[in-house]
A and B are shown apart, each in its own frame.
Chain A
Amino acid sequence: SQKIEQNSEALNIQEGKTATLTCNYTNYSPAYLQWYRQDPGRGPVFLLLIRENEKEKRKERLKVTFDTTLKQSLFHITASQPADSATYLCAFANRDDKIIFGKGTRLHILP
């Protein structure tokens, strides 16, 4: 079955530095990957989408890469701020109209 793996341990990053989160997937070749942010007790919020023919996508301080050979996506937050502290979820859609999520990585930006 399709699997998404994210480092479920918390990631602590000093304010102002770049945070890099990893998403690996197996047993599937998605046409695109999505990244969402989830704050405690809230629903996920869509951030970025990257297609299989795109190497990199940027939105303000966010950058996503997609390596279909490694079956991996990296999510970067540059000039990180304490307000970026949240859980970040990687997701993709399989062929049957189902978007599945990784467990997410908790990011703490330390002031």
Chain B
Amino acid sequence: EPEVTQTPSHQVTQMGQEVILRCVPISNHLYFYWYRQILGQKVEFLVSFYNNEISEKSEIFDDQFSVERPDGSNFTLKIRSTKLEDSAMYFCASSPRGVGPGANVLTFGAGSRLTVL
């Protein structure tokens, strides 16, 4: 069964450092997402991406965050200058289509745990 793969599974970084989290969405999917989950809290939407541009972003997704699809397979989340409160599990997800009557079912990756010291 097709799956979304994420690397690294765990990254430890110092506050202020840049981090890039990588994702390979399912190959025929068109919509890509990043979510985060702080330990013990809910899965929070960060950003959605379609047709090589951001289609929606949350208030969490400030100027410190950026996303990119550098080639035909990878989808990355960059945090420019990490803060302690960025420590969380980051999930990439993909979907074959966006919102609409056909529905938007997400397939998630296993996540990348980010620890900021």
By a beta-carbon cutoff of 8 Å, the part of chain A in contact with chain B is 31-32, 34, 36, 38, 41-46, 49, 51, 89, 93-104
Interface residue tally for chain B (C-beta within 8 Å): 30
By a beta-carbon cutoff of 8 Å, the part of chain B in contact with chain A is 4, 31, 33, 35, 41-45, 48, 50, 55-56, 58, 89, 91, 93, 98-99, 101, 103-111, 113
16 contacts between A and B (CB under 8 A): A34-B105, A41-B113, A42-B111, A43-B93, A43-B108, A43-B111, A46-B105, A51-B103, A93-B103, A93-B104, A94-B99, A97-B104, A99-B33, A99-B45, A99-B104, A102-B42
Query: A104 to chain B: which residues have CB within 8 Å?
Result: 42-43
Contact A101 B42 (CB under 8 A): yes
In whole Å, how far is B23's beta carbon from the nearest beta carbon of chain A? 11
Known A-B contacts A42-B110, A42-B111; A97 and B50 likewise in contact (beta carbons under 8 Å)? yes
Partner of B91, one of A31, A43, A94: A43
| Bound-complex Cα distance A93 to B31 (A) | 13
| Bound-complex Cα distance A29 to B91 (A) | 26
Contact B48 A44 (CB under 8 A): no
Known A-B contacts A49-B103, A103-B41; A96 and B56 likewise in contact (beta carbons under 8 Å)? yes
